Structure 1
Amino acid sequence: MITLIFTTHNGEHTLGRMLDSLRRVAIPRNGFEVIAVDNASTDNSRQILNSFADTLPIRILSEPTPGKNHALNTAIPLIRGNLAVFTDDDILADRNWLCALKDCADKRSDVDIFGGAITPYWEEPPEPWLHNAVSFGVTFGLTDPRLEDGSVSPDLVWGGNMMVRTRVFSAGHRFDVRIGPKPKQYIMGSETEFTNRLHRLGHKAWFCAEARVSHIVRSHQMELNWIIGRGYRYGRSRYLFDISRQRNSTGSSTFGLPFPRWMLRQFVQDLLFGHLARIRGNHKRAVQLLWNASFLKGYMHQAKIRTIQE
């Protein structure tokens, strides 16, 4: 059986659409159940979840501690299936989604981590210039459409469409509560930290191209400040990733800070020229430069935090 797990924090804008799509998915062999964790919502999320109790095999939990990973870890001990599928409250499930994941798992008994395709569902279509200005993968959580079935880097298994064999959790593994979505500023990459940690222990990852969901990209996520903010969050995540891989070369420090001088210079340069491009109306160049400046700011901030903690 498949246990499908997701969390929601004030997700009323997309939650009903997401749950309605689950009602239409084809039922995989041995069936599926849903565990939904209300993570300190203050909107109508709980009422929306309750409204689907008669039409979905759903169990609804509450986790008052803010943070997606806290909520996921709350659900893990209650998993009944031998396969745990993780998703978000802002996806639309393809009808064959769960069957395709189950088929991948049945064919690859040696694999413990599975990822599927995440395509966009735009509430507001992006401006044409945005396509080449930022990474849609990092910024909007979309997988590369060129990915095919096969062995894959754990970096390319993302939380909107991820499956893990339950035996992994039986061995004691959990999500890192220091990372991931929280009501305020947060570090991206909770699932990739988890999958990379498993991969270093010898667990294999596999991509299932036919297992598809669509990510609802909301209108406000087209705003410049939101897009640039993703760069900052990714920078913090990237620093932790580099540390875990022991690949970050800190180089010489600047004013005693634990990152190379070139990084601070590049940040100032990108910030300055990014704002100039914005004033001149060159939106594509402005987003490219300001996103990179935001990424560097996040990277340096996380490096500084780590130094203080040590």
Structure 2
Amino acid sequence: MAEKLTLLICTHNRAALLARTLAYLSQARFPPDAEILVVANACSDATPATVRAARDKLPVPLRLLEEPQPGKSHALNTGLAAIDSGLVAFVDDDHRVDRDYPLAVANAFEAEPQADLVCGRILPDWTGEEPGWVHNDTFYPVYPLPVPRYDQGMEGRWIGLEGPLPGGGNLALRKEVFDQIGGFSTELGPRGHNLSGSEDSEFVLRALRAGKRLRYHPEMLQHHYVDLERLTLWYIMQKAYKRSQTVVRYRRSRRRFPPRYLYRKAAEHSFRALVSLYWPEKRFWLVRTAAAFGELSAYWT
């Protein structure tokens, strides 16, 4: 007998994007006895009304919980604690899910009963209005892009500690994993719409270290909304800084001071950015410089 599936969506003051995601889910195909749970995290906009308006259009029950304490990790933990399903899949509030996504999640666990977690592909939902440089993955590519992407090809495989670790936007797990290893770190993750993160990667890493098994299932497909206003150098530099900072915070050892090589890396990247005359090269090193200082700041804060 197939296990019950809950799709968990955590959201903060993004009613319009949430309405878009729920509209796509209204067209999706679900396994029997599935549901959707939306956790409104310190929302002051029309999120509750958006959820109520979507209920009659969805083929499965839709529940709403409210978590007043700001922070995505708080919302995730509140949602997980309220779920009695055997399977939980995470959907971001700005995603366009593939029509067969819910079925793909259920099929992944049925096909791999030894899997404790499964992940799938996240692709940017490009519209053609984005600047050309975002597609440059050869000479001086800019990363991390402000549009998440996780694509390990069209062959399923096991993902170990060596990674690459998925984010939480297209991750599913057996509820017992949460019960056994605990929830998402409330020291990590975004609060409101800031650029913090890594609560999902830390959770996956903790699960793998506890002996849980993670399977990549490419048929699980979601598309991430592309916010053109985020495709600016300043935004990407801020993203690189915060992403590197949070990654080091959950991966670093107990040492109190930065290793010397980080100072050298920051100095070298800064110098390359200063002397580069070719704009794509300068942009590349400016972003790498921001990331290097983000790594250093993880030890200073």
TM-score by length of 2: 0.88
Equivalent residue for 2:151? Answer: 144
Answering whether residue 78 of structure 2 is matched by residue 74 of structure 1, we say yes
Secondary structure of the structure 1 residue equivalent to 2:57: coil
Compared CA separation, residues 179 and 134, structure 1 to 2 (3 A): farther
CA contact (8 A) 2:41 2:71 kept: yes
SS at match of 2:49: helix
Structure 1 partner of 2:171: 162
Partners in 1 of 2:250 and 2:87 — Cα distance?
A: 26
Give the 3-state SS of the residue equivalent to 2:220 in structure 1. strand
**1:134-185 deviation line (CA, Å, top 9, x unaligned):** 4666642111253521111364322111101011123352111111111264
Q: Which residue of 1 aligns with 2:33?
A: 31
Identity of aligned residues (%): 25
Q: Secondary structure at the match of 1:171?
A: helix
Question: What is the rounded CA distance, in whole Å, between the counterparts of 1:67 and 1:290 in structure 2?
Answer: 29
Deviation at 1:83, TM superposition (A): 0.3
Residues 154-193 of structure 1: matches in 2 within 5 Å?
155-171=164-180, 173-183=182-192, 185-193=194-202
1:91 maps onto 2:100 in alignment: no
Residue in 1 that maps onto 2:42: 40
Q: Which residue of 2 aligns with 1:217?
A: 226
1:113 matched residue in structure 2: 117
Partner of 2:259: 260
Between structures 1 and 2, the one with greater helix share: 1
CA shift, 1:270, in A, is: 2.5
Is residue 12 of structure 1 aligned with residue 33 of structure 2? no
Distance 2:64 2:132 in 1: 41
Q: Matches of 2:23 and 2:45 in 1, distance apart?
A: 19
Q: Write the distance in 1 (CA, Å) between the matches of 2:282 and 2:16.
A: 30
Q: 1:147 to 1:292 in 2, by over 3 A?
A: farther
User: Residue 206 of structure 1: SS of its match in structure 2?
Assistant: strand
What's 2:281 paired with?
285
Residue by residue, what CA displacement relative to the aligned partner does 1:236-284 show, whole Å, maximum 9, x if unpaired?
12212432xx5x9x7xxxxxx811334224324433543565xx5x442
CA shift for structure 1 position 234: 1.5
Aligned length: 291
The answer to whether the 8 Å contact 2:24/2:96 transfers is yes
Structure 2 alignment gaps of length 5 or more: none
Q: TM-score, normalised by structure 1?
A: 0.86
Where does structure 1 differ by over 6 angstroms across 4 or more consecutive aligned residues? none
Cα distance change, pair 191–147 in 1 and its aligned pair in 2 (3 A): farther
Higher mean C-alpha deviation, range 37-46 or range 207-216 = 37-46
The farther-off stretch of 4-13 and 62-71 is 4-13
Q: How far apart, CA to CA, are the structure 2 residues paired with 1:9 and 1:210?
A: 28
Which secondary structure state, in structure 2, belongs to the residue aligned with residue 220 of structure 1? helix
Question: Where does structure 1 lack aligned partners over 5 or more consecutive residues?
Answer: 251-256, 306-310
Of 46, 49, 52, 2:51 maps to 49
Contact 1:116/1:209 (<8 A) preserved: yes
**Which sits farther off after the overlay, 284-293 or 57-66?**
284-293
Alignment of 1:225-240 (within 5 A): 225-240=234-249
Residue of structure 2 aligned with 1:205, choices 214, 221, 226: 214
When residues 275 and 139 of structure 1 are mapped into structure 2, their CA distance, relative to the original with a 3 A threshold, is farther
| Structure 1 pair 107–268 and aligned structure 2 pair: CA distance change class (3 A) | same
Alignment CA distance shift 1:41-1:268 (3 Å): farther
The CA RMSD over aligned residues, in Å, is 2.3
**How many angstroms apart in 2 are the aligned matches of 1:40 and 1:287?**
36
- Cα distance in 2 for partners of 1:276, 1:12 equals 45
Separation in structure 1 between the aligned mates of residue 128 and residue 41 of structure 2, nearest angstrom: 27
